[in-house]
């Protein structure tokens, strides 16, 4: 378990705790403990960037194992996005695909010793949610115009607009962003906390060999991390599809 600011915390130590810096000193307005999710997020970005460069450096017509894996991932993400956005999916495949891979990698990072999942911090998940929020409404206005998007928000029949519009506005501005960010944060934070507690309960053999009683929870966390990345990406696709009118076309 680690502690920050003199308070106990159900967190496993990270490599940041090994850095000989004053935990109370501010760096860019943040303490060392508060910098952990940022450093972990940057670590994921660097690792994914290096992996992409290495994996795509020598693409061939007859793919090897690594290239075949990449093609399976890309095709799977393409089909995943098309299932929600249909004919409008093309421009959004890179966005939704990047979102899934980035969240999946951040979720999985916490299963590596001395690393933390950045998504177990609410600041990370609310930042991801704000990106989805702005993309959703920008695309809604871009595809429908301001008047058309407001008409979409008012719903049908038009005489119910005084009731539907405030409810729709509250849903778009409050309930959707909160549920999207809290779902990811709560699940990943809960998984990491439970694993940390189980590790704290692990008995020792011969006084120094830990018994991995937390191992079943690690496998559940791997599954949960994948599902949460998928749910976040799925909801992002669903929100964008609704904003640009894909769901309205289905009803017609």
Weakly modelled stretches of the chain, pLDDT under 50? 3-8, 251-252
**Can you give the pLDDT at residue 50?**
93
Question: How many domains does the chain contain in total?
Answer: 1
Task: State the pTM of this model.
Answer: 0.87
**Can you give the pLDDT at residue 77?**
93
**Can you give the pLDDT at residue 60?**
83
Domain membership of residue 207 as a residue range: 2-251
- Encode pLDDT of 181-205 as tens digits: 999 999 999 999 988 888 888 777 6
| Number of residues in the chain | 252
Contact residues for 230 (Cβ-Cβ < 8 A; gap 6+): 80, 100
Closest residue by Cα to residue 128 from 191, 180, 187: 180
């Amino acid at each position: 378990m680690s502690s920050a600011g003199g308070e106990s915390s159900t967190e496993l130590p990270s490599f940041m705790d090994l850095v000989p810096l004053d935990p109370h000193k501010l760096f860019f307005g943040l303490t060392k403990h508060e910098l952990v999710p940022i450093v972990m997020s940057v670590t994921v970005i660097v690792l994914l960037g290096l992996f992409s460069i290495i994996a795509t450096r020598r693409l061939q017509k007859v793919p090897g194992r690594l290239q075949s894996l990449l093609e399976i991932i890309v095709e799977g993400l393409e089909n995943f996005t098309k299932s929600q956005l249909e004919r409008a999916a093309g421009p959004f495949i890179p966005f939704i695909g990047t979102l899934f891979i980035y969240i999946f990698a951040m979720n999985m990072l916490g299963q590596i010793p001395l690393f933390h999942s950045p998504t177990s911090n609410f600041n990370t998940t609310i930042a991801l949610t704000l990106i989805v929020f702005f993309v959703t409404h920008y695309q809604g206005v871009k595809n429908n115009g301001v008047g058309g998007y407001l008409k979409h928000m008012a719903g049908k029949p038009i005489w119910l607009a005084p009731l539907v519009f405030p409810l729709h506005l509250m849903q778009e501005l409050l309930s959707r962003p909160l549920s999207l960010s809290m779902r990811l944060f709560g699940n990943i934070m809960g998984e990491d906390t439970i694993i940390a507690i189980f590790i704290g309960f692990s008995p020792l053999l011969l006084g120094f060999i830990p018994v991995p009683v937390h191992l079943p929870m690690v496998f559940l966390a791997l599954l949960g991390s994948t599902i949460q990345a998928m749910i976040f990406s799925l909801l992002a696709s669903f929100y964008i599809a609704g904003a640009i009118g894909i769901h309205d076309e289905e009803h017609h």
